[in-house]
Structures are given as structure tokens and as C-alpha cells.
Amino acid sequence: MILATTRPLRRGLFIAEVVVLLALNIEQGVRRLLLDDSPPAGELLYFATGAAIGVLAVLRRRWPGLLAQLATAAIALSLLISVVGFLAKPGGRLAGDTETLPLILLVGSSCHLLRPRQAGAVAVAGGLIVVIAPVLRYGFDSVNLTVAVVWALLWGVAVAVGLMLRDGDARREAAQVAARNRERLALARELHDLVAHHITGVVVRTQAAQVVLADGTERELLGDIERAGAEALSAVRRLVVMLRSPEQELPPTAGNLLETIEAAVDGDQAVTVQVAPELADLAVAPETVSTVHRVLLESLTNVRKHAPDARRVTVTVEADAQYLRVEVCNDGTRQGRRNRHTADGYGLIGMTERIDALDGRLTVGEHGEHGWRVLAELPLPGGVVAAWPPEKRATR
């Protein structure tokens, strides 16, 4: 499936983080190291620590698989510097902006992405470090305690945001799994129609062969094949009856492509249908026909739901040497804006499930200045000409 993803958004967040961290480090460096005539050793030590932890925070986006190690390294480094500050008293004014922000980013990301135990350990350790750092480094006066409380509140915000993002991912993943399961169950319900189409042909040919052949072992063997096919057909029918809910209707899988397109459009006057002439008598596999029906139904439903201002909706069906192409385009402006934020809708997941099963391709995205397009390309073995019976090819 080809679809616009959230990469531009992630790239924007990455750039924003880098800019903020660089700005903090530059501001701290200019104010403490350049404007002061003789900054204490603590100024250099704490500034270097903040810069190093900032680098670790940025690297978490480059190597998300190493998030646990990066967060652990940042916490360990901050703790080490706090212990040095407590024992050596190198001096320096209360700061920590350049160190606290990247630590909070690492804690929030850990709560979002790591496994529960790892996330809990990083969150607890990071909270302790954030709280005790100003007290150990600068003493137990009221100002430092107030700063510790403020940083603890920021740590709590980071944990809450990380957990909310984690819950959102879990809900989205569960909804995607449910959508795929619903689509697979629908495919299972169509199993009878597809299998019956092929097994019935085997049974009919076997019966014809029994009439032609004389009595003997061959005819008895053909009878066994006929009974086996009939039993398989009955078993599939019983299985599908158990899967199909009483209120569900059978999708059109008769193999007539034009009838399927007409059924999906359902006489909508706002939809313009363009079907290549050579597809009028095209023999299409039942599973391909049912997939075309699903693509058209889902696409037109999305147009009515997300682009009610669309003035032109066009359904184009054509074929080349390899693929049957089904394209649905509309000129609605609302759908494009909405789908920038809902590109991975669950209806698209269902369409993708079917098309992937046929080794096809699905392309969804903006088309033109304001339009939106859904393009499904379904394999057509042998092309259009090969799919026509010999007598049709001779009269073309």
C-alpha cells in the first residue's frame, strides 16, 4: 500500500527539539561562560553535562531501539555529576535547564515506547534524579527545594504525556487488529462462493467424463473424485454458514465486472462511471470481483462522509497487460484536509487486507490541488486479451 505517512510530522518534531535544545545550550553558554569573567568549575561541569544529555535525547529519535540504553546513560551521568557536586562543591549558580529538559524528554519517551518494566524503572529513576539534583549540587535551602518541586511537576507532566501516547498507540493498534480481523472474517464468509465456483466445475467435468468413459476402473475413480468434491463443497458450506451472521448480506461475486460496478455505485447520479470497452466481456476471477466491489463501496462511502462538498466523483475502470485498475477520484476539499490527519483509517486497512491477498497495490492520497484519489491495481494474469475466450478474440 502506498500512502502518505506521518514522517513530515516526526521530522518537524525532531527539528523543533534540536532547535530548542541548541537555543538553551547557546543561551546558557553565552550567559555563564562568556559573560562571566571567571566562571566556577561547577559552571563548566554542569553545562557540559547538560549538553551531553541533550545529545543523548536527540539520538533517541535516530536509534529508537536504543532508547532504554540512552535513558539509562543520561540518568547515570546526571547522578554521577550530582554526587560530584555534593562531594566536591565546585560552585556554580543554580541552573539545570539544559539538563532537565532532555532528561524529561527521555523519561516521557520511555513511558511511551519501552516495555512496562523498563518504562517504570526509567520513570522512577529519572524522577529521583530530577528531584535530588538541585539539592545535592546547591544545598538544602528553600530556593533549591522549590526548584526541585517545579522539576518534579515537569517530570510528572512528562510521565503523563508518555502514558497517554502509549494508551493511544495501544488503542489504535487494537482497532487496526480488529479491522483486519473483521476483513478476514468477511473473506472467510465469501469462501463458499469462491470455492464453490471452482469445485463445482471439477464435479461437472467429472460427471461428463463418467458419461464418456466406458465402465471400468477409470469410471469408478472418477466417481470417487465426484463424491470427494461434493463432500468438500458441503463441508465448506457448513463452515461458512457458521461464520456468516444472519443479518449479513452476500457480496456480489458472480464474476460479472459491470454488474458489480453498477451495484457498488447504486445509481448515484453524482458519480460518473468510465469503464473501458474491452472490459465488457472480461472474465474476472470471483475474488477479484469481490475486491473491486469492496474498493468502490468503501471509496464512495468515504467521499460521502468526508467530502460532502465534492462536485465531481469519477470511477474509472480499465486494464493493461498486467493489472485491472480501479480509480475513484473526487474534487472535495474537506476530505484532503481530514485525511492528512487520518491517513491510516480502518476502512483503508480492510481494503489493503484484500488487495494484499491478491498481490495488488493500493495508492491513496491527494490528487491535484484539492482532490483525493483511491487507486487499486489488481493483478490480471495474461492481460485483457488472454482473458477473452478464443471466439471473442477472433471477432475483435
CA distance 75 to 100: 11
Cross-strand partners of 372? 330, 366
Are residues 119 and 110 in contact, defined by beta-carbon separation less than 8 angstroms? yes
Query: For the chain, where are the alpha helices, taking DSSP H only?
Result: 7-28, 41-62, 67-88, 97-113, 116-138, 142-189, 191-212, 217-243, 257-265, 286-306, 333-339, 346-357, 383-387, 390-395
**Distance of alpha carbon 199 from alpha carbon 195, whole angstroms:** 6
User: In this structure, is the dihedral angle defined by the CA atoms of residues 10, 12, 14 and 16, taken in order, positive or negative?
Assistant: negative
Write down the pTM of the prediction. Answer: 0.54
pLDDT (tens place) for every residue of the chain, 396 residues total:
444 444 555 676 767 777 777 777 676 766 666 656 666 666 778 878 888 888 888 888 888 889 999 999 999 998 998 888 888 776 666 665 678 888 999 999 999 999 999 999 999 999 998 888 888 888 777 777 888 888 889 899 999 999 999 999 889 888 887 877 777 777 666 665 666 666 766 766 666 676 666 555 666 666 677 677 767 766 666 666 555 555 455 455 445 778 888 888 877 778 888 888 877 767 777 778 888 888 888 888 888 887 777 888 899 998 887 888 999 998 876 544 444 434 445 567 777 877 887 888 888 888 777 788 899 998 876 444 444 444 443 343
Closest among 371, 274, 374, 264 to 319, alpha carbons compared: 274
Exposed/middle/buried for residue 314 (C-beta within 10 Å: 0-12, 13-18, 19+): middle
